[in-house]
Amino acid sequence: MNEYLGFYNSNLGGHYFSSQRTVELVADAREQARALLNASTADNIVFGANMTSLTFQLSRAIARDWQAGDEVIVTALDHYSNVSSWEQAAEDRGATVKQAKVDPKDCSVDLAHLESLLNEKTRLIAITYASNTTGTITDIRRVVEMAKRYGAAVYVDAVHYTPHGLVDVEALGCDFLVCSAYKFFGPHLGVAFVASDWLQSLRPYKVEPATDIGPGRFETGTQNFEALAGFIAAVNYLASWGKGIHFERS
């Protein structure tokens, strides 16, 4: 981060060396995030100030076409950044929020109760991958399978899972997944995976001159380029511990 600020601090779009270096930095950061989350393409990666800010922003774009009578499911186990965002988005659109219970036996999301809440009106499930309170891990693939039966999207908060386990968005099949770099030795930076089907179909709130192509559609204003430099270093640090060791993605 010091090196970037000291030698390359610039915005995008210039013909001078520091701007070109910044363009390369952003591309590298997207590729590192793609590898970290096992996304199919670097275009699936969106950066923001933090997970909470990204979730507030994405929730508004996702909920933009919701109508009165639509439903969204949150859980009693989630961090409130993955609850309040959807409660407020639903209120704006006249949608209904339902909350899945916690199973007191093991402090996990009660997936049977969650399944009972699903119906043809369900538009989205917002759910944690690992609880910030109990550490309980959610069977996201099962949640995705349940959601897809009703055509609902799944938004995964992986902030507390990513530092401890391999994330594979392709295997999970989720529509959105968010994490925070500062949880795994990086700077304060939010990272979001947006599945390809949603990249161009969502209508984000943004200023008129901003790009309308790819992940840049969701990134308002000048990005925190020094944080992207720190993020790249953090991912490389994590990767260094896996050299010569074979990990199987569960």
Handedness of CA 57, 181, 153, 115 (dihedral sign): negative
Residues 156, 200 contacting (CB under 8 angstroms): no
Residue 190 pLDDT more than 70?
yes
Q: Tell me how far apart the alpha carbons of residues 182 and 46 are, in angstroms, rounded to a whole number.
A: 16
Residue pair 122/147 in contact by the 8 Å Cβ criterion:
yes
**Of the candidates 180, 131, 129, 137, the residue with the CA atom closest to the CA atom of residue 154:** 129
Report all structural domains of the chain as residue ranges with CATH numbers, in order of start.
2-240 (3.40.640.10)
For the entire predicted model, the pTM comes to 0.95
pLDDT band of 249, cuts 50, 70, 90 = very low
What would the pLDDT profile of 15-41 be if each residue is shown by its tens digit?
A: 999 999 999 999 999 999 999 999 999
| Position 8 pLDDT exceeds 60 | yes
* 77-131 tens-digit pLDDT: 999 999 999 999 999 999 999 999 999 999 999 999 999 999 999 999 999 999 9
Residue 149 in this model has a pLDDT that exceeds 90:
yes
